[in-house]
Structure 1
Amino acid sequence: MTDFYLLTKPECPLCNEALLAIHHSEPDEPVRLHIVDISQQPALLEEYAWLVPVLVRDGDDAELRWPFGNELEEFLNS
């Protein structure tokens, strides 16, 4: 099982869309999704404030930035 981190912030409609896209995806293996509110972490807020939502894969710290599009399935299966 691979861990993924969805970087979000409060009242972010795109973050909600990203979460729905992840939930509707069909990865080959189960994934564990962690929601990270960047507004609670100054370093992340500084780096990602205008980029969220961003999906980060644990292990290699690869990032998938919004809009996810067709790349989501491939990213979850890598």
Structure 2
Amino acid sequence: MKELQQKIADYIRFGQVMLALSAFLMLGLLLPNGQKEAVQMFAMMGVIAAFLGGSFYFFYRARVLRDKLEENKHEQPL
């Protein structure tokens, strides 16, 4: 049970870090700072999408593990 709680905490942290990185990159993409070529913009959009996808995946995994942990708590006799 302790191991599941640690995994949940880790997945939430990974998700938060990836979400923060994607927000930081999005700000860098939106703020005007010289000329950006189309390739740079598409590459940054791809990286942002990958970080957002990873973040959602980790939050999803944390939710699944949290449900499993709650299920285990209900199954154990007092």
Does the TM-score normalized on the shorter chain lie above 0.5?
A: no
Considering fraction of residues, name the structure with more helix.
Answer: 2
Q: Which has the higher contact order (CA 8 A, sep 6+)?
A: 2
TM-score for the superposition, normalised by structure 2: 0.26
TM-score for the superposition, normalised by structure 1: 0.26
